[in-house]
Amino acid sequence: IDNNNSYLYNFKGHYLQRQFAKIEILEAIEDFEIRDDDVFIITYPKSGTIWTQQILSLIYFEGHRNRTENITTALRAPFVEYNNHNLDHSKRPSPRFFTSHLQYNLVPKGLKNQKAKVLYVYRNPKDILVSFFYFTNWLAILEPSDTLDHFMEKFLDGKVEANCWFDHKRGWYEHRNDFNIMFMCYEDMKKNLRSSVLKICDFLAKSLSEEDLDSVVRQAEFQNMKCDPLANYKDIIKHKVGIRNDEGNFLHKGTIGDWKHHLTVAQNERFDRIFKRNMRDFPLKFIWDI
Ligand code: A3P
């Protein structure tokens, strides 16, 4: 892992977006003060991060649910490793939500108090590969690739933000007992959003009325989020990040199994071989199609 890539910034072996990486923010993470009621959303990129931010915001904030407040989900659950809004986290009221793509060994040490909660959302890596490929070709701050083949090399080599997907999964899973953590799967959320929201509520010890639950589910559905300016991340593009074309979207397709329309037979076989080698005996199950 090197530090010469013009798009990626290497912090202790973890790749971040160079554009937004700041050494003083990164160095402060380890000793960052954790409160017992903090909740961390942890994901590998393209696994449903924005979606989970939206679900938590809807569950917790009445003003978000009934649309009387004008705070974006991005601000409700800001990234730990990027502080684009210059927030002073110590001044934020509880409960605080955070988001991160960091590997298990780089998150605040205090998270191991086993009280603060970690919600780890994972998705099948072939859909992630395709989603990530379009995403990196769309946002100007990310390194574009001419072909999916080219991107697949970088993905399998871990030369992308958050490094190698396999290591991220293994690292967090193998250290799960250090944290108060729940694993959720993107595809389960997609197949049954309502029961997934209930599962999250359970984990957070939060109960909602039927009516509020309906409202959370409705506003967390793909089509509704896609046109919701508080949830679709578009303001980030307006204010901060350039795009290379108009076709992209943070909420691109939001489906299961889109990889089937993109991977060639050879690419798919290669992926399967590498997946088997890296994920042998891995207990979490991945869902590859509907
Ligand atoms: P696609 O690119 O396959 O459409 P992240 O937020 O981690 O970057 O993940 C982005 C992926 O999550 C995108 O996948 C996006 O469409 C999908 N996503 C976001 N909100 C969703 C929702 N409400 N339902 C299903 N998928 C959603």
Ligand 1 atom nearest 43 alpha carbon: 7
Domain boundaries, position 93 = 8-279
Residue 286 lies in a domain: no
How far does residue 222's CA lie from ligand 1's centre (Å)?
Answer: 8
Rg, C-alpha atoms of the chain: 18
29 close to 107: Cβ distance less than 8 angstroms: yes
Q: Which residue has the tokens 């009621």?
A: 37
What would the pLDDT profile of 226-275 be if each residue is shown by its tens digit? 999 999 988 888 777 899 988 889 999 999 999 999 999 999 999 999 99
Catalytic residues: 101
Tally the domains of the chain: 1
User: Quick check: is 287 in a domain?
Assistant: no
Digit-coded pLDDT (tens) for 87-109: 999 999 999 999 999 999 999 99
Residue 209 within any structural domain of the chain: yes
Query: Is 289 inside any structural domain?
Result: no
172 lies in a domain?
Answer: yes
Which residue has the least CA distance to atom 2 on ligand 1? Answer: 131
pLDDT in tens, 15-46: 999 999 999 999 999 999 999 999 999 999 99
Ligand 1 centroid distance, CA of 24 (Å): 30
Of the pLDDT bands very low, low, confident and very high (cuts 50, 70, 90), residue 2 is low
What number does the ligand 1 atom closest to the CA of 53 have?
6
Q: Which atom of ligand 1 is nearest to the CA of 45?
A: 7
> Which CATH number goes with the domain that contains 48?
3.40.50.300
Contacts of 170 (CB under 8 A, 6+ apart): 278, 279, 282
In a domain, 230, yes or no: yes
At 115-144, the pLDDT tens digits run 999 999 999 999 999 999 999 999 999 999
Ligand 1, residues at Cβ distance < 6 Å: 43, 45-51, 127, 131, 190, 220-222, 225, 251-254, 258
Q: What is the pLDDT of residues 75-90, one digit of tens each?
A: 999 999 999 889 999 9
3-state DSSP call for residue 277? helix
Residue 1 lies in a domain: no
- Residue 290 belongs to a domain: no
Please state, in angstroms and as integers, the Cα–Cα distance from residue 245 to each residue in 55, 83, 121, 138, 290, following that order: 29, 26, 29, 6, 30
Instruction: Say how far apart CA 125 and CA 13 lie, in whole Å.
Output: 21
Report the nearest-CA residue for atom 23 of ligand 1: 222
- pLDDT tens digit string along 173-227? 999 999 999 999 999 999 999 999 999 999 999 999 999 999 999 999 999 999 9
Counting ligand 1 atoms within 8 A of each CB, the residue from 76, 123, 252, 259 with the most, and so the one to mutate, is: 252
For atom 27 of ligand 1, the residue with the nearest CA is 254
* Residue 181 host element (H or E): strand 180-185
